Amino acid sequence: MDKKFNKSLSDADGVYRYITRRHDLFEQNAVLKVEEIGNGNMNYVFRIADTESDKTIILKFADGHTRISEAIKVSTDRIKIEAGMLLKQNELVAGYVPTIFLYDEENNCILMADCKDYTIMRELLSEYKIVQGFSEQITDYLIHSILPTTEFLLDCEAQDKLKAQFENPHLCEITETYVFSEPFNARSEVNAIYEPNKEFIEQEIFEDTSLLKEVEKLKKAFRNKKQALLHGDLHTGSIFADNSSIKIFDFEFAFYGPIGFDLGNLIANLIFAWLHAEADSNRQSFIHWVEDTIASIINLFRIKFIRELAHAEAKNKVLSKNNVNAYLEEVISDTASYAGIELIRRIVGLAHVKDITSISSEEKRIKAEIAAIAIAKQLIINSRSITTGTDFVQAVRKELLNRVNVLSHI
C-alpha cells in the first residue's frame, strides 16, 4: 500500500477503501463492513467487521480538527501519543487496555482490538448497572500504570526520557482551555450553560473570586506538577466494563502531571452517576454501591501505593514513611480539587455528560446541576481537609442534604 492514503478516514467509505488496500489484517478476499461507532468529541472511531467470521477490529482516526467542531483545530500528534501510551500501558498493565495492532503515522490512525463484549461504563451506570469489583480493579490499574513512572521508581534520566516522549502540549492546551479557563470565564463564547441555572452559575462561579484564585493555582499545578504519566481524561466514558471486568481506553490526553488529576476525574464522574441516580427514585442500592466505590477507590489507592512501594523498596532506595504519607496526603487533596474542577466544567463548559443532560425533568436537572456545583465548591475550597474516602462521600452527602432543603423551595 502507498504510504499516504489520500482519502480522509473521517467517514466509513474512506475507512473501507483504506482497509481493503491493506492485506495484513484480514484475509485477502474477506467481505468487510465498516461502521462508525464513536461519538466522542475529538476523533473518529470505526468498527471494521469481516462479515463471514467473527473478526472485528477498531480503527481510530485523528483529524486536524475535533470531531465536534471543524473550527477547533488540534494537532494530529495526539494519535502518536495514544499509540505510544497503548504500547506503554500494554507493558505495564496488559489486560486492562486494548491491544494495539498497528500505528500508521502517515495516515494518523491506529488499528486496535475491539472490546465489543464490553459497554462504556457511563452507559452501564446510567442504567444503574454496577461493575463488580470496580474499585479493586481500577486501583490495580492506577497503581501499576502510575507508580512505575513516578520519582519513587524511576531515576531522573529515565523519567526525563518518558516526560519527553509524552510531552503533549496541544492536548494539554485543550484541557487548559476547556477545563480550567472557559468554564470560569463569564464572557466565554464556548460555554454551554443550561439556561435555568444561568443566574446561579454567575453568582456561584463567575463572582466567587476566592474560587477563581484556587482554580488558577490548580491550572498551574496541572501544567507544572509532573508527578507521573497519566491517562489525562479518565472519566467513565474512557472505561469499558462488563459486569465484572474493565478496560481503559482513549489515551490521547496522556501527559506527565499531578496524580490527583486522573483520580479526581474518575471520582467526579462517579459523582455524576450518583446525581443521575438521585434524580430517579428507588435507586438506593445503586447509590450505596457508588458511595462504597468512591470511598474504596481513595482508600485502596493509598493502601496499594504504600504496599507496592514497600515491595519495590528491596530493589530501590529506602523511602521515608513520612515522605510517602505526606506525598499521598497531597495526592488525595489534589484529587478533591480536580474532582471539583471536573464537576464544574461538565456543567458550565462545552463538554457535558449524559448523566446530567439525560435528566428529562427540568426541575430535577436544575437540582442535579446545582448540587454538582455545590459539591465541587466544597471539594475545592476544603480540599486540604479531605483525606479519606469517607470524606469524599460525606462532602457529597452534606451538599445533597443542604440542597434538598434549599431546593424544596424552587
Binding residues for ligand SR1, per CB under 6 A? 40-42, 66, 72, 174-175, 178-179, 233, 350-351
Residue 178 binding: pick among ligand SR1, Mg ion, none (C-beta 5-8 Å cut-off by kind): ligand SR1
Q: Please tell me the distance from the alpha carbon of residue 226 to that of residue 215, in angstroms, as a whole number.
A: 18
- Residue 73 CB, shortest distance to ligand SR1, in Å, is 11
Q: Please list the residues that pair with 104 across neighbouring strands.
A: 109
* Pick 135 or 175: Cβ nearer ligand SR1: 175
Q: Which of 266, 263, 261, 234 is nearest to 250 (CA)?
A: 234
Residue 176 sits at the vertex; the CA angle it makes with 46 and 39, to the nearest 5 degrees, is 20
Question: In this chain, which residue has its C-beta nearest to ligand SR1?
Answer: 41
Q: CA-CA distance, 378 to 380, in Å (whole number)?
A: 6
Q: How far is the CB of 240 from Mg ion (least distance, A)?
A: 13
Please give the Cα distance from 201 to 373 (Å, whole number).
8
Q: In the sheet that 100-104 helps form, which strands lie side by side, from edge to edge?
A: 32-36, 44-50, 56-61, 109-113, 100-104
Cell, residue 371: 448540587
- CA separation for the pair 288, 16 (Å, rounded): 46
Q: How far is the CB of 342 from ligand SR1 (least distance, A)?
A: 9
- Compare residues 72 and 306 and give the one whose CB is closer to ligand SR1: 72
Residues of this chain that bind Mg ion (CB under 5 A):
40, 233, 250
CB of 269 to ligand SR1, least distance (A): 10
Cβ proximity to ligand SR1: between 214 and 233 the closer is: 233
CA 74 distance to own-chain centroid: 19
The sign of the torsion formed by the CA atoms of 343, 344, 347, 353 equals: negative
**Cβ-proximal residues to 348 (8 Å cutoff; 6+ apart), any chain:** 183, 184, 191, 193, 201, 205
Residue whose CB is less far from Mg ion, 178 or 392: 178
Which region holds residue 250: left if phi is over 0, alpha if psi is between -120 and 50, else beta? Answer: left
Q: Whole-number minimum distance, CB 289 to ligand SR1, in Å?
A: 25
Taking the least distance from each CB to Mg ion, the nearer of 295 and 350 is 350
Quick one: 40 or 196, whose CB is closer to Mg ion?
40
Partner interacting with residue 179 (select from Mg ion, ligand SR1, none; CB below 5-8 Å by kind): ligand SR1
Work out how close the CB of 233 gets to Mg ion at its nearest, in angstroms, rounded to a whole number. Answer: 5
Residue number with CB closer to Mg ion (42 or 309): 42
CA distance 155 to 59: 36
CB of 260 to ligand SR1, least distance (A): 17
